């Protein structure tokens, strides 16, 4: 059996789902996504759980799609998986909190944006690098664009520049940014506060707040998955990605 890539535990009404696939920077492989779905379903079905926390081991929160698998199964399917994952987080009957540290890219940013509360280390790094590879952050834009201001999205999407957790807080992408040595305390306090809520109150309030996001995912998701696939398969993007890989050697 392959090693477990998502660890699950429950403490004080909080179910923690810990991404632990450090060999590929917690990329969204088929195995990791399957285990993440299983953890979300288990937490949703457990009456003792009121809050779900997604966090990660290693120095990368999540690097996005596993491109080695995406090339085999087709980019439209890979983008569809990311659309579905954002939908699953947004429609979960319990609030989802993300604890973000280190580097977060591509689909990892989609997980952060789809969550109800995102707490980031101030020095965590974010970047929408797709533009430099002849691509666009189509699938993750489903949850990212409702969070960020229009001006912040334009600047970060079009430049591809790296920005910090502190910047992400100012832009609206994350709820709060704190020094990394304070991250655990901040997350614990927020989860404890959420866990004081009545289950029905939490469920109905999340549904109320998340209705526009869920409708956006349902309406635009299929077209944006197709856009990702079309751009990923284009000659221009292939040339840009090859040049990028050659520069890294």
CB 121 within 8 A of CB 179: yes
Nearest CA among 4, 88, 97 for reference residue 41: 88
d(CA 154, CA 169): 16
Residue that has been written with the tokens 């001006």 in this structure: 151
With a pLDDT cut of 90, the percent of the chain lying above it is 80
CB 72 within 8 A of CB 102: no
Q: What's the pLDDT score for residue 245?
A: 62
The whole-model pTM stands at 0.93
pLDDT level of residue 69 (50, 70, 90 thresholds)? low
Q: What's the pLDDT score for residue 239?
A: 84
d(CA 155, CA 128): 10
Domains of the chain: 6-184 (3.90.226.10)
Least confident stretch, 61-70, 129-138, 185-194: 61-70
Pure H helices in the chain: 30-45, 67-73, 75-91, 107-114, 141-147, 150-159, 165-171, 183-194, 199-232, 235-248
CB 119 within 8 A of CB 98: yes
CB 62 within 8 A of CB 108: yes
> 163-164 and 125-127 as β-strands: parallel, antiparallel, unpaired?
antiparallel
d(CA 218, CA 173): 21
> 96-100 and 51-56 as β-strands: parallel, antiparallel, unpaired?
parallel
pLDDT at 27 over 60: yes
pLDDT at 74 over 70: no
């Amino acid at each position: 059996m392959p090693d477990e890539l998502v660890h699950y535990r429950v403490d004080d009404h909080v179910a923690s789902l810990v991404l632990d696939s450090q060999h590929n920077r917690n990329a969204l492989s088929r195995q990791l996504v399957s285990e993440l779905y299983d953890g979300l379903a288990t937490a949703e079905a457990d009456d003792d759980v009121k809050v779900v926390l997604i966090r990660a081991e290693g120095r990368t929160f999540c690097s996005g799609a596993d491109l080695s698998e995406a090339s085999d199964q087709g980019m439209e399917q890979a983008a569809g998986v990311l659309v579905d994952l954002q939908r699953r987080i947004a429609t979960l009957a319990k609030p989802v909190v993300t604890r973000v540290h280190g580097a977060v890219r591509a689909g990892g940013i989609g997980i952060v944006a789809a969550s109800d509360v995102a707490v980031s280390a101030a020095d965590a790094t974010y970047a929408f690098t797709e533009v430099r590879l002849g691509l666009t952050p189509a699938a993750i834009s489903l949850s990212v664009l409702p969070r960020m201001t229009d001006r912040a999205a334009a600047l970060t999407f079009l430049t591809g520049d790296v920005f910090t957790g502190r910047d992400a807080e100012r832009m609206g992408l994350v709820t709060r940014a704190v020094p990394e040595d304070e991250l655990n305390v901040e997350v614990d306090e927020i989860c404890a506060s959420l866990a004081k809520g009545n289950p029905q109150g939490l469920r109905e309030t999340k549904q109320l707040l998340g209705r526009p996001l869920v409708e956006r995912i349902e309406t635009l998701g299929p077209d944006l998955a197709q856009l990702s696939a079309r751009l990923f398969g284009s000659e221009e993007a292939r040339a840009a990605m090859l040049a990028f890989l050659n520069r890294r050697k």
